[in-house]
Structure formats: C-alpha cells, structure tokens
Amino acid sequence: MTKGTVADGIAFALHDLGVKVLTHVPGYGGSETFQSFKNIAMKNPPISFNEEVAYSIVHGASMVGQRSALLTKSQGFVKAGNAVTDSLYTELTAGFVTIIFEDKVGSRSDNIMEIEPTLQGFYFPYEVGNEENIYNEVIKCFQESEKRKIPFALLVDAAKIEMPISFERRNDLKKNFEYKRNILDHVVSPLLSEYQNKVFSAKKFYGDSSAIERPELPLVPDKLPERMKPTAIKYLPFFDAFKEFRGDIVTGDTSTSSAFALPPYNAIDLVTHIGGSIPLAVGAYSAGFKNVWALTGDFGFIASGHMGLVEIIQRNIPIKIVIFYNKQAAATGGQQIPKIILMRMLAGYNNYLIHLSNPSDPFEINQALTEVSEADDFKILLINY
C-alpha cells in the first residue's frame, strides 16, 4: 500500500494512467495536486493563466490520442464554459478528465459556488469523489471517458486535499491510442451541428450513437451556404497553396475558414470555439505531433486566441499560426474591428510575425508559407484581406 494525501492519490493515479498532458490554473486543491504530480513525474510543466485555454489544450491532446487532465476550481470550470460545451460535441480518442476542486466554505475563493447545477445544465458527466478512494475514482473517470468518448469530471472537496489516505497502485493502466482524422467527430461547426447534437444526445442517455446516420459532407465552396460563400471564395488561393504545406495536425476556430476542413481541401482537422485553434494546437503538439498549424480569424484571435500565445512562449514550441486579417467579424455579420486593436496585440510578437500583403498572388502565398514552414521557432502569418 502507498500512503500519502488526497493530492498524492490523484497525482499517482494520473501518473500511473500515463497522463502526459496536464494543465492547471493555480487554485486551492489543484495547486497541491499539481505540485505532487510534478514531484512524482519528476517534470516541471508550466501553470496556465486562463481556464478556457487550459481546457482546450488538454481537449486537443485527448482528441489526437493522449490521455489528458485539467486541474481547476469550480469557478475556473465555469470560466472555460465555451470550450467545455464545444468539447461535448466532439468525440475523444483518449480519456480526458477535469478534476474540479470545490471550496465549499469559500475559505480561499471569492465566493462559494455550487458546481453541480452547472454540470447538470451542461449535461456534463461527472462523479462526486470519495476522497478515501480517490486513486481508484480517478481511474474510473478515465475509463468512463474512454468508454463514452466524452470528457468527464471528478469533484473533489478542496478542504480534504491534505487528508491522509492509503491506496494500492496499479501498473496495468497505461494504454496507447491511435488518432484517425474524422471531421464529423472533431470539427465543431454549424454545418455539422444537427448531426453532432444527435450524437451528444445519445451519449447523454448512454445510447448507441453509431446508429445515427452520418451526413454527406458538403463540398467547398460550391455546396456551402450562400452566406459563407463570398468569404470562402476569397480564401481559395490561400488554401489551394496551403494543402501542400499543412502539417500533421491543423486546428481551427468555428469560423468560415474552418469550412476548409471539408472536402476536397481536407485542410483542417480539429475545430472548436472561436479562439480555440491556438490552445488546441498546443495540445496536439504536447501529445506528440510536431508539425502543427493553427488557423484563426482576427476576431477569434482578439476574442481569446491571443491567450494561447502565452502557452506557446512558456513551453517554447514551434507552432505555426495563420491569422486571416479581415478587419471584421466575418462569421457573425461583418461587424468592424478597429485596425489598431490587432496591431497592439501583436506588437510584442514582431519577431515572430510574417506579413502576406496580397493573398490573391500564388507566388507570394507560397513564399510566405515556405518561410513559415521552414522556421525553427513559432511563427505568425498575418494575411491581409
């Protein structure tokens, strides 16, 4: 038997399961567990600063086949709500468990928050942890996540994080998973939402989603809705070239550019919320895929995508980013974006920035993509539309 604290029981379970991608925004209960995991794994993964980003990183890793986990408090889980709801409309390749630490008396939080009504409202599957058996409960949650191919949550009372417990470790838990590209399962899009909602409904009630008829994928650009065609046609020269440069994994936001996940281009693999492409790419890279691109629009980058740059910098990973600079929110009605906002946000990244001024010129597109793809460091390709 191994003796330790509740934090140790969680950390040993994650380690014995082979969890490689673990994110954490500092908070009561999670911080103690994160430190225990670092001691056990003899690694020093960085903290995260935003829960939506931290959630999307581990979600991306799990979609491409790496068991992953997030340590967060109740308030942080709600903060990640956009990423959380989109994750329910995808299908996982490996298990993904969020361990939520509840500060039930508000001793170290800004308020006392009951997380179960939120989880129930999201139809997010979860277990209420028995701290004395926490090692086995973490394992059980991963097994449920992998059985249903959906994210899972485990609730832990933060006040019991230092409680002494005993547990018997297992050495038969690690498992390899094979990622296969499947945009119906990995691309959240209005074009696929009816089918994905049916699949999610089946999962909610432990039904068989395999019986649901899979829709025929529309072709880009001819079979896209009329509202999307003008922007998609504008992007054609870029994607005609990009399909020759795309890496092992390409991520996107739920925006018009991600329509190019569809045939005949098949240029994007993972898509979730607006601004999610960069943290998804961080997750895919952390899971072992080394040639990873993230595609985003200027609105999505400003809204939340820019927060993923912090994760790239502190992890020192060479992800390639493409920003479609439209100066408007093209997917939501064309609302104008003041030019100064994006330029201010990118000012600290000038050394990583490459400009593409004429996105209808195949020669300039190829030249810019070659420069980005051959760079050893991370790069941001800003395409001026």
If pLDDT is split at 50, 70 and 90, which confidence band does 111 have?
confident
Q: pLDDT per residue over 46-104, tens digit each?
A: 999 999 999 999 999 999 999 999 999 999 999 999 999 999 999 999 999 999 999 88
Q: Identify the CA nearest to 182 among candidates 168, 195, 164, 201.
A: 195
Q: Count of residues for the chain?
A: 385
Per the CB < 8 A criterion, the answer to whether 43 and 70 are in contact is no
Separation between Cα atoms, residue 385 and residue 23, nearest integer Å? 35
Report the pLDDT value the prediction gives residue 328, as an integer from 0 to 100: 67
Whether pLDDT at 333 is above 80? no
Whether pLDDT at 327 is above 90? no
**Choice among 117-121, 125-129, 283-287, 327-331 with the minimum mean pLDDT:** 327-331
Q: pLDDT per residue over 135-191, tens digit each?
A: 999 999 999 999 999 999 999 999 999 999 999 999 999 999 999 999 999 999 999
If pLDDT is split at 50, 70 and 90, which confidence band does 331 have?
low
CA dihedral angle for residue 343, residue 346, residue 350, residue 355, rounded to 10 degrees: -60
pTM: 0.96
Query: What are the chain's domains?
Result: 2-167 (3.40.50.970), 189-384 (3.40.50.970)
Per the CB < 8 A criterion, the answer to whether 320 and 247 are in contact is yes
Going from the C-alpha of 62 to that of each of 76, 93, 152, 254, the distances in angstroms are 20, 6, 12, 19
How many Å separate Cα 203 from the centre of its chain? 20
β-pairing, 249-253 vs 292-297, is parallel
Going from the C-alpha of 120 to that of each of 66, 115, 202, 290, the distances in angstroms are 27, 9, 16, 37
